[in-house]
Structure 1
Amino acid sequence: MRVKLALEQFPTYGYRRLACVLGENRKPIQRILQLKGWQVRKRPQGFRPRAKSLPSVASRPDERWATDLTHVWCGKDRRASLAVIIDCCTREILGWRLSDNGSSKTAEAALEEALIYRLGVLGRVQQPLALRSDNGLVFSSRHYTGTVKAYGLTQEFTTPYTPEQNGLVERFFRSLKEECIWLHRFESLGQARVVIDRWIRYYNEERPHQSLNYVAPRAHLALTG
């Protein structure tokens, strides 16, 4: 059955996203999942205070980017840092870097990859562009803030202990871990790069995004950019 095969391939998808992947109406997919007991269990939410200011949103592409770091275990190469840059309008991953060279260099490399991808060359941006991050040592370091300033971006920090203010990156990392990283046991940094690169390409070009009316980020960019 196509539904079961799709659910095996995308075990974290609900009926809406499965219906989009299969090109089917949502209601029949929902009924099949209910009858078969294949529904994805919702994680308990509990109380989560929401930030009332500085939402990580944007009304157009390249108005606000957001960045963050996480860590990935890479077998014999041990722990590596993963930095990403996401567009807060399109949700597209513009640049990323997985490296064991240190978090600061990794974060800078991801930013420069995003600038090259969107501008074609490294240089100062010609229109206002904000870069959202937390207050961690990497993003508040003199070296990183100097790099951001040199490229003409306006750096903005979230309120301490409010990760929801950088929610787009937090949500991306959760999806990446649930749908990719936690499904593999990487033996090396090189293997992790190959697998993560493949998933990010899928995320940008094919993965339906609920907040984008179930189109992928690259398709949303074509509609808005």
Structure 2
Amino acid sequence: MLRIVGISRSTYYYQKNYRVEEKKVSEGRPAPGYSITKNGKKVPDELINEWLLEEVAGDGYSYGYRKLTEVLRRKYKLVMNKKKVYRLCKELNILRPQREKKFKFPRKLARNRIITASNQLWEVDVKYGYITGEDRFFYILSYIDVFDRSIIDYHIGLRCTAADAAQTLQRALLKRQLFNQKEKPVIRSDNGTQFTSNTFQKNCEDFDIEHERIPPKTPNMNAHIEAFHRILEDDCLSRNEFQSYEEAYQEVTDFMKFYNERRIHSSILDLAPKEFYEKQKTESLNSKEIRV
């Protein structure tokens, strides 16, 4: 019979002769209903509940159970575990609501692309500069068009947040008259905090823009903005010893204008980025496609 039903003899006899009873889950010892002070005096839970309600109604309204535990220990000399305070607060319905978890946007990895025209792929990154006279750093965030090499827009400041990155992106879209267009460029960035934040992701969603991030330790996938930052370092930042933020801001602004309007690039037919961008609108230029 065992062979017919496909059960081994050992399994059958084990179940028959050594049937194991289901384990009962221990609920632990019952709550004692009191706590002890450092002097060994017993304090009933009812009194502790009154103290908790007084603390919450007073200065401790914004406290959670962990801080209320500390208050009871300091003020009333109670020897208590925070777990018990949590249980008492839960019974009294005075637990503070937990913070809502922010929705995390799914990460989209950069993929290989073939770029044949402007406004198909923009790369963005942050560069640090140093102000010698004030002994502090400043930040330069730039958006570059991979095809025509233009710095479409940039942010210079003593800080650089996700909101700054989003505002700069909005200005760049308006400059290229793409804000209300259906076809928008893909934005490619690294995994800096400005670009991984929900603020930047939400703005990209609102702008109806696809944002992709390169894998860690692959700066070659963001090569065009990295190359620009090398030019910025060699031709501007390392040549100047800034004494103030105003001086640094002016020098970087002047360099950005020079780069876009006068600095020639061999990769765009020995033209300046702005000149190349304008010419391709009306002429058929013999420019190569870009694989990224």
- TM-score normalized by the length of structure 2: 0.55
Does residue 130 of structure 1 match 2:186? yes
> Alpha-carbon deviation of 1:106?
3.1
Change (3 A) 1:213 1:166: same
Judged with a 3 Å threshold, the aligned counterparts in structure 2 of structure 1 residues 62 and 79 are, in CA distance, closer, same or farther, namely: same
Please give the alpha-carbon distance, in whole angstroms, between the structure 1 residues aligned to 2:159 and 2:194: 13
Describe the SS at the equivalent of 2:144: strand
Give identity over the alignment, percent.
25
User: What residue in structure 1 maps to residue 271 of structure 2?
Assistant: 215
1:224 corresponds in structure 2 to 280
CA distance in 2 between counterparts of 1:178 and 1:108 reads 27
Distance (Å, rounded) in 2 between the aligned partners of 1:57 and 1:189: 40
Question: Aligned pair 1:162/2:218, yes or no?
Answer: yes
- CA deviations 1:144-181 (Å, max 9, x no partner) are 11111111110011121100100000000000110011
Matched, 1:65 2:122: yes
| 1:185 has 2:237 as partner | no
Letter in 1 for 2:177: L
User: How far 1:83 sits from its partner (Å)?
Assistant: 0.2
Q: 1-side partners of 2:243 and 2:264: how far apart?
A: 30
How many residue pairs match? The answer is: 171
1:201 equivalent to 2:261? Answer no
| Kept in 2: contact 1:59–1:89 (CA 8 A) | yes
CA contact (8 A) 2:141 2:160 kept: no
Rate the CA distance shift 1:208–1:102 in 2: closer, same or farther, 3 A.
closer
The 2-side partners of 1:86 and 1:125 are apart by 19
The AA in structure 1 aligned to 2:126 is L
Task: Give the whole-Å Cα distance in 2 for the aligned partners of 1:81 and 1:107.
Answer: 11
Q: Give unmatched runs, 5+ long, in structure 2.
A: 1-109, 282-292
Aligned to 2:161: 103
Q: Please, which of 210, 215, 230 is the counterpart of residue 174 of structure 1?
A: 230
Contact 1:64 1:131 in 2 (8 A): yes
In angstroms, what is the RMSD of aligned CA positions?
A: 1.9
**SS of corresponding position for 1:139:** helix
Matched, 1:78 2:136: yes
How far is the alpha carbon of 1:55 from its aligned partner? 5.2
Q: Which has the higher contact order (CA 8 A, sep 6+)?
A: 1
Take 1:208 and 1:220, find their aligned partners in 2: how far apart are those partners?
10
Question: Shift of the alpha carbon at 1:57?
Answer: 6.0
Deviation at 1:56, TM superposition (A): 7.2
Structure 1: gaps of 5 or more residues: 1-52
Q: CA offsets per residue over residues 116-167 of structure 1, 9 Å max, x none?
A: 21128xx454214200101222201111111111111100111211001000
Kept in 2, the 8 Å contact 1:71–1:82? The answer is yes
Q: Measure how far apart 1:94 and its partner are.
A: 0.4
- Runs of 4+ with >4 A deviation: none
Q: Radius of gyration: which is bigger?
A: 2
Q: Distance in 1 between matches of 2:135 and 2:127?
A: 16
> Structure 1: how far apart are the matches of 2:210 and 2:268?
26
